[in-house]
Copies of this chain bind each other. A is one copy, B any other.
Amino acid sequence: MKSLSIKDIAVKANVSITTVSFIINGKAKEKSISEAVIEKVEKIIAESGYKPNQIARSLRTGNSNIIGLIIEDISNSFFSRIARLIEDKAYKRGYKIIYSSTENSVDKAKELINMFKSRKVDAYIISPIKGIEEDIQMLMNDGNPVILFDRNLPDISTSYVGADHFNASYQSIKNFIDQGKKNIALVTIDINVAQITERLEGYKKALEDSGIEYNEDLVLKIHFNQEENETIAQIQKLLQHKAVDAVLFATNYLAISGLKALKQIDKKIGDDFAVIAYDDHEAFELHTPRISAIQQPLEEIAETIIKMILNQLSSKAKLPAEEVIIPARLVLRD
Residue positions of A touching B, CB distance < 8 A: 1, 3, 51-56, 58-59, 64, 66, 73-75, 77, 80-81, 83-84, 87-88, 91, 96-101, 114-115, 117-120, 141-143, 256, 259-260, 263, 281-283, 285-288
A-B contact pairs, 15 of them (CB 8 A): A1-B141, A51-B114, A51-B117, A54-B120, A55-B59, A55-B120, A75-B77, A75-B80, A75-B81, A96-B119, A97-B100, A260-B285, A281-B283, A282-B283, A286-B287
Q: Chain B residues with Cβ under 8 A from A75's Cβ?
A: 77, 80-81, 83-84
Residue from A59, A74, A101, A114 having most chain B Cβ neighbours under 10 A? A74
Shortest beta-carbon distance from A266 to chain B in Å: 11
How many copies the complex holds: the figure is 2
**Considering the chains assembled together, what is the distance between the CA atoms of A51 and B260 in angstroms?**
48
On whether the beta carbons of A119 and B55 are closer than 8 Å, the reply is: yes
- A3-B117, A55-B119, A99-B99 known; 5 other A-B pairs, CB under 8 Å? A55-B120, A74-B80, A87-B101, A97-B98, A283-B286
Q: Chain B residues with Cβ under 8 A from A91's Cβ?
A: 100
Q: Chain B residues with Cβ under 8 A from A53's Cβ?
A: 59, 118, 120
Chain B residue with the shortest CB-CB distance to A98: B98
**Considering the chains assembled together, what is the distance between the CA atoms of A88 and B73 in angstroms?**
10
Shortest beta-carbon distance from A4 to chain B in Å: 11
Query: Which of B3, B56, B141 makes the CB contact (< 8 A) with A59?
Result: B56
Q: Chain B residues with Cβ under 8 A from A288's Cβ?
A: 263, 287-288
Chain B residue with the shortest CB-CB distance to A80: B80
Residue from A64, A96, A143, A288 having most chain B Cβ neighbours under 10 A? A96
On whether the beta carbons of B74 and A64 are closer than 8 Å, the reply is: no
Chain B residue with the shortest CB-CB distance to A141: B1
Contact A51:B283 (CB < 8 A) given known A75-B84, A97-B99: no
**Considering the chains assembled together, what is the distance between the CA atoms of A146 and B250 in angstroms?**
42
Q: Chain B residues with Cβ under 8 A from A120's Cβ?
A: 53-55
Q: Chain B residues with Cβ under 8 A from A66's Cβ?
A: 98
Contact A119:B54 (CB < 8 A) given known A84-B101, A96-B98, A97-B99: yes
On whether the beta carbons of A3 and B142 are closer than 8 Å, the reply is: yes
**Considering the chains assembled together, what is the distance between the CA atoms of A108 and B127 in angstroms?**
28
Q: Chain B residues with Cβ under 8 A from A73's Cβ?
A: 84
Shortest beta-carbon distance from A309 to chain B in Å: 17
On whether the beta carbons of A260 and B286 are closer than 8 Å, the reply is: yes
Chain B residue with the shortest CB-CB distance to A90: B100
Chain B residue with the shortest CB-CB distance to A77: B77
**Considering the chains assembled together, what is the distance between the CA atoms of A80 and B72 in angstroms?**
13
**Considering the chains assembled together, what is the distance between the CA atoms of A172 and B27 in angstroms?**
61
